[in-house]
Structure 1
């Protein structure tokens, strides 16, 4: 691959960019990105203006904005994934500093290629060297809190034991993750039932029988409950691989089986599938040797046929000694010699993490003499008992008997048999039929990797902290105390409910259930069954108990450790972009988790944040950070986005996170070994556009500098936590999730900046550190003060939460409910809930009608349609800006910097937007532009004290971010009405204003200006041609690589020449300009059209500028002359093409020179 170093131009980039900036800054913003033209000011903010009282702390710093400090610039996730040496550490830190990056996260990618090994003495030596080098060069470091993601295994030393330095850790396998499974039996009365003696053991919940076939849904490895002593045999079955597994955004089919299995963590695994393995796409057999829960050998064998989802295949695997033969549909597809395992049973393998599934039938195990060792055709559910695993009686957490009425178990008649199981007392079965349910906890090894810990167990996490956190602090206390180490990074911990329906378990979960006044038998029966509202409430008790245990054991202990050691923990939950019930099962209650953490964090990975896509990231973490008063809110961006990440995409993602409240960006990633990049893109010298990374870094740093104030959103969106807990994994829960997405997007599209407010902050939940309180006509939580609370559609809510909302409304707040009102109260007090909602909204929640109900000093609004929601939000003054014309693509965030008020605005659409934004503040607006670090008083605006707004015309190209800032500036001369952009507006005398405007078309124009209350008028006639000068036809073209030759070709993607080329290419063209094109006041804007992906422009041998994203335009007037001119454009693409992709690359055009006329006009 040809990289940036092949072009001589790159060595001079920063020098000419700095030189050009001084010449062009004043014109580029006006002529190139026609937003309101601006006049520069460095005046301080004035107090006592109509902008209101300033907050505590200092205002915005122009110097920090133009040149962002290191802690506002992005941090780099630095994967150590190969051989680490002192020279490599020094060189790579230098690479990052050269692009403006001053902070890194040392993140081990602990594969077999990592050397020194994680937590070896060599490892600590390399970390020490990195910290010393960071200290020497003024850099900062975060340390990852485990061997690899996900966090929560302590590198296996807690579960498996081991030695770190001189410390020996004894194994604690009992601290593996635990979840609760259910096994069932039938009983009829009258009679006696031996509760303990009839215990069937563990029947894997991944197995079910339907239509005479065994269905395996995840579960990873499930084995037959017999056959541990089988040696030589033939395993045969019919299977249908189902298209449920995913890889790289595509779905594939797979069926997996195990043989000679010692247990679920040791044996042979074979997979029949169509994953697109290199050289074996379409159909393949994957052979795995599985030892202690890890793959120790993997081989992929191509098949002579394609594997098709849903098609049935007959499979046989014959083992005789160390000889193994496998056939599919009678054809031998593999013969292997291997002696790893000599005996063991059979079973199935479907990965829970990939949601894989397959069906099986006609299962048969035959001895060499043709004796049937096992045979099953799965004609009934009773076949599942064959796969029951013996489990110690101590693992049974509860036993329940449910009467069967009309063919269905009845939760209301539950009999708790747990004590009878414990003491061995039989149960006298009353007359009738009963379903006996045993609930037993068991270890989970199908997520989190080898040695993963029970995150709901306080002892497990205490030991985790002792192994990792304490070891790092003991060795590098000097670096923590000196601030070289910022803290520890926690990443995507896993919990059982993210990988199936089984709830997590620990003593702490059980204690929390008891504190809620319930029992394991009640809550588990409700969780495993469908019992309507009554069952949902008990399901919610268990879900809340588990969420509290996770927050208390995992997050609180880490947060407490950090506070005790004067440092910080970053959270990065697995599910920070999901709606309520989905997020709950993967992360628990994220708000309870983050309340203990110093730096709430999340990530935008796998392309989830991109133009045209919608999700909830990063709303949860920014809301938590705002409500806690966290100084930093972090987001990891671009991980696993692929090789084709461009600066424009990076700008979009970083900007979209910033305009939602993120103020610390982490880029993913720099790899110590660039030849082994598991999750592209690599952001490092092997990337062709790495030498332009400083532009992305500077731009992002400026946006983060703007968002580092105090969030100032007056609106909260209630997070329906009790409903999510009650209705997860149901159709009602799915509807709840969809409705929550809908209202979130509606608020964003209406330019409402808001925080998500956990219901637990309103209902007195003791697991929350604080509660929201009503005072000064607002609902206050930490430093946040909300005037408007939006209630999304929800079937269930806490009565205490509704009481708090009523108190808020009576004090002067506004409550807006959309879509539906809840009918179920979380504690079963449905009638009391109905009465409270009637008081609050003035309508019956069972048959709600649109209302605007006066409640005390405030009011409550119920609306059922989206237009009515928009109107209610406008009347409550919830939007951060009112746009005319409206645009759903514009996002707005307001932030306080001491006395200064910032409105951050972004166009997330794919087309330019021209609109006038009315901001809810009166004053003199400034425009702060992250593109170049400039800040200027706007030359076009209309301050309307009567409406308490200031209107500013905006032109926003796609991905463009601007800040409209109010700093108490005195009234400045400006244009109130003008069809043309203005670069300056100044006062000539008390009767005259003078405006310098930029015209891109002929015509007669009228301008209206103002200074204070006085109005001025002027007119202007613009003449002449403004027809763009087309630079079409052939251009000279050459790849920037050794021995490349020039050729002439039309503009277009260079993949027509070389589809695998990643690097630089130069385009040259001459253009002749007559005198009238360069007459006084005329400007020529070079518009490159479409560029893929970075352009460096030279005119007549002088390097003019660098363009990283749309629009690819530069004012080149000062570099042109009458007669012949040469234009050179060097374009850089992404690494995608060199890695098998075929992204369009190069200068696609069309390229034109766009005339403009700069003219001065007086207004009187």
Structure 2
């Protein structure tokens, strides 16, 4: 295990014990602080390349077809726009229920994924959905049984042969654990037991210590079991008496004996497969990790033979209740330089002035143990087995942003793009530590209940991922479904479904093409966010509490929605940085640093900030500024040093450099930011001759990538209202090109173009030094005019039924015969066009706009998000004109240029329309899982079943042929 570099200052009051270890810690700090200043002597401010990138992946595997290529010149990028590389295609989390899978169905599903443009799978075994039934061919293969491992082997071979990337979750359900995890390797948790000692008593009953527990310390003092002053407790011998009673000198008043017992949370693996049940492992214990790798990792990787998975995967850290591990006191002493045992009452009660500093050190130590005993060993193990480690590194225990650097592939989740999110946490780490690919678990709670999400919902959330820096979509997900299951097939208890059982899957190649093209573009060059927000990790450590230690869970108390919104509404995007990244990577790439109420900060970090300002960096401090040592050891001296450094840095006020600005609240940030760095991308409404910057800026989000000779701007309308605005780039180049992310087609553009986007529509602008080859000349069209109303006279063919005349366009749900129909129907019509209409006109089929819904925000976590928009085309369509495929429609604007396919005279138009799978589900009884739960326990509850109802379907109208005179 490699030696960990020293951390920032961790401080204590003058009364803290002085030990040889503590002296060594202080010596290291002095050297580090001096080096921190010296290394900035030749720094170049705002250099987009990190000075201290993450180490190269040392794994021995050969380069894969799914390894990304990053280009630095726009000509190289443009050559792959028509067909994005395979590594950029979206992946799917592939749930194997039971697992009860059989090879022919695995092969069929892999073929369907390939047909849909999906680039890979992440195999995850979860809970059973059906009892064993030989008559139906259902057999739940116990997790890690020979049959299960053979299915894994087959899926890998078949997937690779189909050109898919194959990843594997290194366990069953989540978090890691199972029957191989004994109580000694299960999640650690400190248990506090208070025993009352009556007045005059010379003995008292000791707390019972059960399996997996150990008394770490004991104290006594005045009070009762419910109320006592933890700061006045005195140490007792922490020994177990043979008779189960403790002895103590009698006292006149009642007292309480408080015992600190290293215990276990008892958390079980969530949603496990058959045979995967058991305790969740202790992520801070190297022994527990080695146990898991030996008993789960080795058999799984052996099944892959000489073709290891592209990556092994870990879901978010959800080890609820964890705050301790078996050797915590020894590890703490070594890392922090003092003994925590005397201070346990303060840590676990939160009482006393020193409690925040002590809790800081206690929580920080947990981060280090997660890194040293979990992230590093699993990454090393993956490399020895020819694969990589992909992880969602946040949650409980408290991993930090910089903890990501210990793994190969970074992943986030959460579409909350205008507030703190795990997605931006992962993408920021990728930007800081030099990783071009950052994935995101996407669509987890999309439009609950399941089977109600369509392609527009997918795009609405995916775009929010992209503007947060995501460059790889991991769809959540694809449920394996046995061949005899009724439509629309299986679902995970709480997730949307994106497989071939959905009627709209016919447009999945186009959806995948869009996602792949944007993912590919956003990997190129280097990240170019201009604003960094310093995560106040040390402040967050200090407010952590027993039973719930987390950085990511507490950071929203400091990184509030208003802060993120003020930055975005000022025309910027943002990254997070943490103190460790400031020391390891630096801030050179960011012209502006925002510090939100940071009070605890190490002096060496302040030294870096001072050098950053002197080199031209701008700091905007919100509210409080640093005034405290981060931790407990030598806090009085270090606090004084922090105050001196902070006064020198933030006491400058508005001096001649104007590089440090102090504001009182988040709501002042936008104006302060504009004064030091105007927006990177500015949009303004144009109404009645007035230019207004306001609401439209809030509806537009963007992310920028910087190349040697160009800048790539992905711009998305993340709202349910259309946008018509002016668009100004702060750093334009000589040429501008508009790129259609659906097709990859390029068109020349004005340097300050007019921006017209339908609800949830997106566009890419390339600002380059030279014109892009292949870009069509810029064309301007006059306002579109209706040439013909096509809302009547359609013939509609449903599968297995005679065609029906639909003189008026209505929803399929309006008819009893098709109310519960999920599938595809074909609308046919003859369209007559005159030669005059074809001359100099662009003719398009327009299928109507739609209705915005009241709420355009992300819903509560368990309710999911959706596109807050009811389109007039439900929910996807393929248009054919005169027997030629003219295109697909799956998101606004629902308008398709059909000019190349029309001829003068009669034209045959067919529109194949597909709806949602939920309509079929609404027409029948839900499955009865009573016997399944009696056999295996209640491992899942289908979510929001009371909300299952048929959704509008088909062409709702109006449908028109519109013409635009070209000029």
- Please give the range of the TM-score, normalised by the shorter of the 2 chains: 0.7 to 0.9
For 2:955 and 2:734, the matched residues in 1 are separated by 44
Gaps of 5+ in 1: 1-50, 160-171, 202-389, 576-582, 763-770, 844-850, 942-950, 975-982, 986-995, 1002-1025, 1160-1164
The match for 1:836 is 645
The SS at the match of 1:1144 is coil
For 2:812 and 2:660, the matched residues in 1 are separated by 60
Matches within 5 A, 1:68-217: 68-81=84-97, 83-111=100-128, 115-146=140-171, 148-153=172-177, 155-156=178-179, 158-159=180-181, 172-187=182-197, 194=203, 198-201=205-208
Q: Residue 107 and residue 1073 in structure 1: after superposition, are their counterparts in 2 closer, same or farther (change >3 A)?
A: same
2:819 is aligned with 1:1085: no
Q: Residue 793 and residue 909 in structure 1: after superposition, are their counterparts in 2 closer, same or farther (change >3 A)?
A: farther
The match for 1:216 is none
CA shift at 1:1095, angstroms? 1.7
Q: Residue 1048 and residue 475 in structure 1: after superposition, are their counterparts in 2 closer, same or farther (change >3 A)?
A: closer
For 1:69 and 1:186, the matched residues in 2 are separated by 69
For 1:133 and 1:971, the matched residues in 2 are separated by 40
Conservation of the 8 A alpha-carbon contact between 2:94 and 2:124: yes
Name the stretch that deviates more: 426-435 or 690-699: 426-435
Q: Residue 180 and residue 669 in structure 1: after superposition, are their counterparts in 2 closer, same or farther (change >3 A)?
A: same
**Residue of 620, 643, 651 corresponding to 2:459:** 651
CA shift at 1:800, angstroms? 4.1
2:534 is aligned with 1:718: yes
Q: Deviations over 1:319-377 (max 9, x none)?
A: xxxxxxxxxxxxxxxxxxxxxxxxxxxxxxxxxxxxxxxxxxxxxxxxxxxxxxxxxxx
The SS at the match of 1:999 is coil
For 2:768 and 2:556, the matched residues in 1 are separated by 42
CA shift at 1:453, angstroms? 1.6
Q: Residue 391 and residue 126 in structure 1: after superposition, are their counterparts in 2 closer, same or farther (change >3 A)?
A: closer
For 1:489 and 1:999, the matched residues in 2 are separated by 52
**Residue of 1057, 1060, 1063 corresponding to 2:823:** 1063
Q: Residue 91 and residue 129 in structure 1: after superposition, are their counterparts in 2 closer, same or farther (change >3 A)?
A: same
For 1:473 and 1:104, the matched residues in 2 are separated by 16
CA shift at 1:555, angstroms? 1.6
Q: Residue 397 and residue 54 in structure 1: after superposition, are their counterparts in 2 closer, same or farther (change >3 A)?
A: closer
For 1:447 and 1:804, the matched residues in 2 are separated by 44
For 2:428 and 2:47, the matched residues in 1 are separated by 24
Matches within 5 A, 1:487-886: 487-497=311-321, 503-508=323-328, 510-512=330-332, 515-521=335-341, 523-531=343-351, 533-573=353-393, 583=395, 586-604=396-414, 616-641=421-446, 642-673=450-481, 675=485, 676-679=490-493, 680-709=495-524, 710-728=526-544, 737=557, 739-762=559-582, 771-772=583-584, 779-780=587-588, 785-794=589-598, 796-821=600-625, 824-827=628-631, 828-829=635-636, 830=639, 832-842=641-651, 851-853=653-655, 859-865=659-665, 868-877=668-677, 879-885=679-685, 886=693
CA shift at 1:495, angstroms? 1.5
Q: Residue 1152 and residue 527 in structure 1: after superposition, are their counterparts in 2 closer, same or farther (change >3 A)?
A: farther
The match for 2:780 is 997
For 2:600 and 2:49, the matched residues in 1 are separated by 40
Q: Deviations over 1:520-543 (max 9, x none)?
A: 445542343243653222222222
For 1:468 and 1:799, the matched residues in 2 are separated by 44
For 1:455 and 1:559, the matched residues in 2 are separated by 14
The match for 1:302 is none
Q: Residue 736 and residue 650 in structure 1: after superposition, are their counterparts in 2 closer, same or farther (change >3 A)?
A: closer
The match for 1:442 is 263
For 1:422 and 1:833, the matched residues in 2 are separated by 48
For 2:736 and 2:289, the matched residues in 1 are separated by 51
Q: Residue 545 and residue 834 in structure 1: after superposition, are their counterparts in 2 closer, same or farther (change >3 A)?
A: same
Conservation of the 8 A alpha-carbon contact between 2:48 and 2:528: no
Conservation of the 8 A alpha-carbon contact between 1:80 and 1:671: yes
Q: Residue 144 and residue 918 in structure 1: after superposition, are their counterparts in 2 closer, same or farther (change >3 A)?
A: same
Q: Deviations over 1:131-155 (max 9, x none)?
A: 3333434333112211x221411x4
The match for 1:329 is none
Conservation of the 8 A alpha-carbon contact between 1:62 and 1:935: no
The match for 2:730 is 919
Conservation of the 8 A alpha-carbon contact between 2:572 and 2:680: yes
The SS at the match of 1:840 is helix
For 1:755 and 1:551, the matched residues in 2 are separated by 22
The match for 2:236 is 417
CA shift at 1:67, angstroms? 0.2
CA shift at 1:1042, angstroms? 0.9
CA shift at 1:464, angstroms? 0.8
Q: Deviations over 1:853-895 (max 9, x none)?
A: 55xx672111225564223323433743233344112222222
Q: Residue 504 and residue 62 in structure 1: after superposition, are their counterparts in 2 closer, same or farther (change >3 A)?
A: same
For 1:1102 and 1:135, the matched residues in 2 are separated by 33
Gaps of 5+ in 2: 1-45, 51-69, 133-138, 271-277, 686-692, 849-871, 923-948
Give the number of aligned pairs.
800
The SS at the match of 2:307 is helix
The match for 1:204 is none
| TM-score normalised according to structure 1 size | 0.63
CA shift at 1:923, angstroms? 2.6
Q: Residue 187 and residue 425 in structure 1: after superposition, are their counterparts in 2 closer, same or farther (change >3 A)?
A: closer
CA shift at 1:833, angstroms? 3.8
The SS at the match of 2:755 is strand
The match for 2:863 is none
CA shift at 1:125, angstroms? 2.3
Conservation of the 8 A alpha-carbon contact between 2:759 and 2:892: yes
**Residue of 739, 754, 774 corresponding to 1:953:** 754
2:718 is aligned with 1:908: yes
The match for 2:932 is none
For 1:973 and 1:1036, the matched residues in 2 are separated by 39
Conservation of the 8 A alpha-carbon contact between 1:100 and 1:697: yes
CA shift at 1:429, angstroms? 7.7
Matches within 5 A, 1:317-466: 390-391=209-210, 395-401=214-220, 409-417=228-236, 419=238, 434-449=255-270, 450-466=278-294
Conservation of the 8 A alpha-carbon contact between 1:524 and 1:542: no
Larger radius of gyration: 1
For 1:469 and 1:904, the matched residues in 2 are separated by 39
Q: Residue 532 and residue 1000 in structure 1: after superposition, are their counterparts in 2 closer, same or farther (change >3 A)?
A: farther
